[in-house]
Structure formats: C-alpha cells, structure tokens
Amino acid sequence: MEKFRQYLHATKTYIAERSDLFVGIGVVAGLLAIVGIVVLVNELSGPQIVYQPIKACEVFTPAEAQSLLGERINNTEKNEPQISGNFGVSKCGYSDLNSQAMMVAAVTIRSGINDEGVAKNKSDFAQSDAVNASEDVPGIGDGAFFNGKAGQLNVLKGKSWYIFSYGLGDSPEQNTLEKAKELAQKVLS
C-alpha cells in the first residue's frame, strides 16, 4: 500500500510539474477532432458548388417569351436548379394562349457547378452531337448543334449547356433551326 501511495504521489507531482504540456496536448487533440469532423461532414454533404447554376427563368423572362409567343402566355415550367452530381439543371418554358396551335418556347440549362461538372458538360455535349447526327451551327456560344429529330438547338456556352426548343408543342420534330436560334439569341444576349 505504501508503494501505491508513493506511486500516486510521484504521478501527481509529475503531472503538476508538466501541466502546461498536458493542457497543450489536450487542446491540440480537441482541435484535430474538430477539423476531422468538419472535413467528414464536408465530404458527406455532396458535391461542392464552386459555380452557381444558372436559373433558366432568370435568363428567359416572361417579357422575352411574350416577344416570341404573343401577349397571352402561360409559364408551363419554372424551377430552381436541381443539383445532381456535378450539375445544376434548371428549366423554364412558356406556351402561347393566343392561337389554336399551341406554340411552346422552352430552355433547359445544365450548369457545371464545379470543374468536374464543366469538363463533363463539354464531353457529354460533344458526344451528344456525334451520336445524334446533328447539324453543326457556327457562331453561337462556344459550340452549337441542332438536333432535328428532337427539334432542339443545343449550345455550349461557358460552364453551361443550353437546350432550346421553340415551335409547335405537339410536334417538336417540326421545330426549325431558325426559330430555335431566335430563342437562343434572346436568352444568350
């Protein structure tokens, strides 16, 4: 028992003499734990948004839709960018209420929210152009092609891939490149 008391006294003396060291070790261990938790939460929270995705209805406004479709329009699709993987996808569409044949003007924007998303946009854009036997359209954005089967003008500009549709709502294959370019010029300017 005496030896235990001596050991206990020696331990207390050792700790008392080096209390700054033990406090420092405790502080460093606490900081490392906090940093580890922050890194873990950050990694588990999903993709990092470095570039804010474009909101389609902010670049394709009701006034622009009216200039294409007439005064009476219906906003058929409006949403905030939906984040999925390294992209933010936003859609905005309008239909006309002026005639029997429903005309539709719509834009979908796939924005790269980080460098991986931007690179994937570029590679997917090029692949889609090659696969769809599309017509290249010079002079718009960083690259553009018209997919006649879907009636869509695809434009790569900066970090984003835009898809424009403008024509008869029930027959998109009848959409023309000229109409789609007219819509693209309003949105991209």
What gap in Å lies between CA 184 and CA 144, rounded to an integer? 11
Are 71 and 63 contacting, i.e. CB atoms less than 8 angstroms apart?
A: no
Q: What pLDDT score does 169 carry?
A: 77
Which residues face 111 on adjacent strands?
A: 88, 160
The token pair at 148 is 């006649």
- pLDDT bin (cut points 50, 70, 90) of residue 8 is confident
What gap in Å lies between CA 74 and CA 169, rounded to an integer? 13
Over the stretch 76-89, which tens digit does the pLDDT of each residue have?
777 789 999 999 99
Q: What is the pTM of this model?
A: 0.75
Lowest mean pLDDT among 35-49, 88-102, 142-156, 175-189: 35-49
Q: How far is CA 61 from the centre of its chain?
A: 20
- pLDDT bin (cut points 50, 70, 90) of residue 162 is very high
**121 pLDDT higher than 70:** yes
Average pLDDT in the 35-58 region? 78
